[in-house]
Amino acid sequence: MSKEAAAGPDGVPRCPWALSTPDYVTYHDEEWGRPVHGDDALFERLSLEAFQSGLSWITILRRRPGFRAAFAGFKIAEVAKFTDTDRERLLADTGIIRNRAKIDATLANARELATWAPGDLDTLIWSHAPDPDGRPVPKTIADVPAVTPESTILSKALKKQGLRFVGPTTAYALMQACGLVNDHLETCGARNAPSGARGPVH
């Protein structure tokens, strides 16, 4: 894999990780790095990043429709009501990743978040967005970190509030995916698009 932005089939330069499959191209161009707001939307991203731990993101991305069906569209209020019967259903669902610890963490997180006031998750996560002017623009994928001081602090804040499977690496992947940071490479065509032309995702 190239370490620098490379041209895709349409000639547009993209981050090199985005060029391996059409699924990645679409995700890179339309979602990754765009601001995401809303408690349910952020709960979905947080849950999927936790499921991704130890796996490739493409594995999660291709199963996302299955995850959404299995977890009631990641509506916190609905998932918080899941019973032991639902848990057993999830453990048998081939449309998702059947990891017991990750399923249990997702259910526990929903129950915890259901006790928060509306907007609290959004506020907590976005309060840890670093100043973009203080971050160097990555030129190659070698310049993109897996964890940062900010993601470590975010991880600690989420854990302090009772959330699980939210380590610093997972927290940074969330920050990248949800637009708290812009890790598109300097010459990537999407570098200036996430918070500008396309607007936030809800």
Active site residue 49: yes
Residue with tokens 């979602």: 31
Active site residue 27: yes
Q: Which of 24, 32, 44, 49 is catalytic?
A: 49
Q: Which of 17, 27, 116, 126 is catalytic?
A: 27
Q: At residue 36, what are phi and psi to the nearest 5 degrees?
A: -115, 130
Q: At residue 96, what are phi and psi to the nearest 5 degrees?
A: -125, -175
- Active site members: 27, 49, 57
